[in-house]
Chain A
């Protein structure tokens, strides 16, 4: 009977395709990747003194634990943190805890939602609280760049906008007792331009910038 014959054929075909497309193909790509593009294939990892400190491509939470009664504070099992003022800060993240690459997720805030409005307002307030007193003339909501107040998509966006970095530079320079020009020069150095000159947006890689600060 043809149906049975077709089912047997299908099974054989699926097994062959699984070997070819599900095993051989990814192994070939992995082989080429590990030989020709080793650093990229392994995630652009960054080591300091032999210790892994992250990936250039993955945003991190540059924060300090919040202590209560001498012990780190946890809420619902998640460590409570506050931004470390010595470092540039990545964008707001929708993951739990923030910038959690092991479980990425969107925040899924709707465009006309009061929940969204509250979240954005809270991000603006936090940004102003952190940077406002170092910024000449003070910060207002209208001056906060959108990327500093809006949640990223991946939750681990490694980049911030140039405007965002320029504002944070005042704080970082003041806290580290560095001339603003030095910090601004680093921001310029770690600004990634558009790919091929026209694809994507200029962005500042936060991990590389922070590591460069520590090397000063």
Chain B
């Protein structure tokens, strides 16, 4: 461990907070219909878009209508992306398939489409060996934008459910049930938030060496006359939204480890910031929309404490090195001119701290980008991503998904707190009753249940075990791979212990390649189910809360904006995560972390 390593983590947390505060204020203005400094530029295109789509946004939607719009939009998005990937060769006329790649097999396409639609970006394919530039740009990157916008919309809708005050006289009107308009939230998120910030990030990345062109791959013979090839493509534009939208699907197979996606220490820092920027800002947006910023600060403190804990544990573990290195005779201490530590599957320019922090950043959120091989992390270092996923992506979490997930946990914590003091639980003046708690409990439990169910199915069946490369992984490592695959897909994260495969590609270019149908389908259904079921529960909670009477806070009201509540909330998150996942985690990463034994 070095001063630079610890400094990186501290500086990152400070810069993130400094950027998230103003963005949170801006986003609160965007979602409450106030004027913003972007209005002169964007108001016209925004209203043009409403006209083209054919919506009247002055009409709010109740939660069922909101959900209907969201599901319809997702269904059409799914079909369109599936069509594009299955007809990749058809689009070669655009000149955006210079390597002449074939279309995706149906099973891999099913998995990939479900993956990008649900903001997961789990990848059972290698970008540079299977995907045309057209598919990457017009197919995958578009879903990177809109799946992120859908997540944010749900979060904003839930916030409205919590904070809206409906006057008693209006309680039965249609307006009283409105949690906003899906189309308006979608369009405003894309135009006012995602597109401008993506553009800025893309240009920063470009200036540092992330490529952006439509060239064929370049073949040449090196200075020792060995034939080599450089992959090309429009990377920077996609890289920006891949991170900003917490999507995580790499343009190249090795994702943000590839120098053309992430070229130096600065791009690494910018990419990490891009991932956490919106999830962090949304917490402040929430505080402002409740009218009590301290509500936001309490949640932010909860997230930041858990995040810093995860980063510290991961950094210490990776700096210590792995048993395999030590048995082979390597010395893993820091020495002059070398980083030391577990450099297996890590890039020199990022070193230990830059790799550990990146992977904590992308696994607390639902981003799932990686700049190093998660599978090669030490037992404890690798247990950190596991723990982050086990906490169901509430530590910052995905754009939107993080906030609506933690709000479900907040309601649960309020309920438990209410039980302890023996009062009807209230949150921001609204009573939390049996119906809400049922919905909250379902919303929280769906994700871990689908992760564990799918893991069990994949571990117990021969078809499931076909995805494990037994030449490299066996014993606890093989179980870790499987558990991580379904944990990651259920949490819509998309990072992988990448030895686990759903795709076999004998030669480049998709010719003769085929999917492992079991893994593709099980993963695809897991992602879809674990994305849309919680969304429906979150919207339903918004729907029941929106019209509730607001009672003024009294002396007996449990405060939800102080350190006591932060401790209670962390306790609830850790408890739920530990109770659901501890037995499974014991069999994989923890076993490896506790022993110097090789398998």
Q: A26-B137, A32-B203, A110-B376 are in contact. Are A201 and B224 (CB under 8 A)?
A: no
- Within 8 Å by CB of A106, from B142, B209, B268, B498, lies B498
Whether A12 and B226, one on each chain, are in contact in the complex, defined by CB atoms closer than 8 angstroms, is: no
B338 within 8 A of A: yes
Q: Is the CB of B260 within 8 A of A57?
A: yes
Instruction: List chain A residues, Cβ under 8 A from B52.
Output: 12, 16
- Give the residues from 373 to 406 in chain B that come closer than 8 angstroms, CB to CB, to chain A: 373, 375-379, 381-382
How close is B254's CB to chain A, nearest CB, in angstroms? 4
A25, A30, A106: the one within 8 Å of B373 (CB): A106
Task: Give every chain B residue within 8 A of A108 (Cβ-Cβ).
Answer: 345, 373, 375-376, 469, 472-473, 497-499
What sequence of 0s and 1s flags, for each residue 37-77 of chain A, a beta carbon within 8 Å of any chain B beta carbon?
10011111100100111110111111111000000000000
Which residues of chain A from 9 to 35 have any CB-CB distance to chain B below 8 Å in the complex?
9-14, 16-18, 20-23, 25-26, 28-30, 32-34
Q: Does A104 reach chain B (CB closer than 8 Å)?
A: yes
For B595, the chain A residues whose CB sits under 8 A away are 112
Residues of B near any A CB (own CB < 8 A)? 4, 7-8, 11, 49, 52-55, 65, 68-69, 72-73, 75-77, 80, 126, 128-129, 137-139, 141-142, 145-146, 183, 186, 190, 195, 198-199, 202-203, 206-215, 217-218, 220, 222-224, 226, 228-232, 234, 236-238, 241, 252-254, 257-260, 263-266, 268-269, 321-325, 327-332, 335-351, 354-355, 370-373, 375-379, 381-382, 469, 471-473, 476-477, 480, 497-499, 508, 592, 595-599
> If A52-B218, A154-B259, A201-B351 touch, does A6 touch B345 (CB 8 Å cutoff)?
no
Closest residue on chain B to residue A86 by CB atoms: B224
* Contact status A200-B268, CB under 8 Å: yes
The answer to whether B8 and A199 touch across the interface, beta carbons within 8 angstroms, is yes
Docked CA distance A155–B263 (Å)? 14
Identify B330's interface contact among A32, A79, A149, CB under 8 A. Answer: A149
Q: Does A194 reach chain B (CB closer than 8 Å)?
A: yes
Interface assignment of A111: CB less than 8 Å from any CB of chain B:
yes
* A153→B477 contact, CB < 8 A: no
Hey, which bits of chain A sit against chain B, CB under 8 A? Answer: 2-3, 6-14, 16-18, 20-23, 25-26, 28-30, 32-34, 36-37, 40-45, 48, 51-55, 57-65, 79, 81, 84, 87, 91, 94, 99-117, 120-121, 124, 140-147, 149-166, 192, 194-196, 198-203, 210-211, 214
A29: B residues at CB distance < 8 A: 199, 202-203, 206, 212, 234, 236-237
Q: Are A124 and B347 in contact (CB under 8 A)?
A: no
Taking each of A23, A30, A162, which has the highest tally of chain B beta carbons within 10 Å of its own beta carbon?
A30
Looking across the interface, which residue of chain B has its beta carbon closest to that of A44?
B209
Q: Is A9 within 8 A of B138, CB to CB? A: no
13 A-B pairs, CB-CB below 8 angstroms?
A30-B213, A37-B207, A59-B259, A100-B228, A104-B254, A107-B373, A109-B324, A117-B327, A143-B331, A152-B257, A153-B254, A153-B345, A200-B354
Distance (Å) between the CB of A103 and the closest chain B CB? Answer: 5
- Residue with the greatest number of chain A CB neighbours at <10 A, chosen from B226, B329, B336, B354: B226
Q: How far is the CA of A57 from the CA of B480 in the complex (A)?
A: 33
Once the chains are docked, how many angstroms separate the CA of A105 from the CA of B173? 58
Contact B331 A142, beta carbon cutoff 8 Å: yes
Question: A192 vs B522: C-alpha distance in the bound complex, in angstroms?
Answer: 45
Docked-complex contact B224 and A109, CB < 8 angstroms: no
Which chain B positions have C-beta within 8 A of A32? 203, 206
Contact assessment for A26 and B329 in the assembled complex, using a CB-CB cutoff below 8 Å: no
Question: Please, which residues of chain B bring their CB within 8 A of the CB of A21?
Answer: 141-142, 145-146, 190, 195, 241
Bound CA–CA A143/B203 (angstroms)? 42
Chain A min CB distance to B488 (Å) = 15
B372 to chain A, nearest CB (A): 5
Q: Does the CB pair B229–A120 fall under 8 Å?
A: no
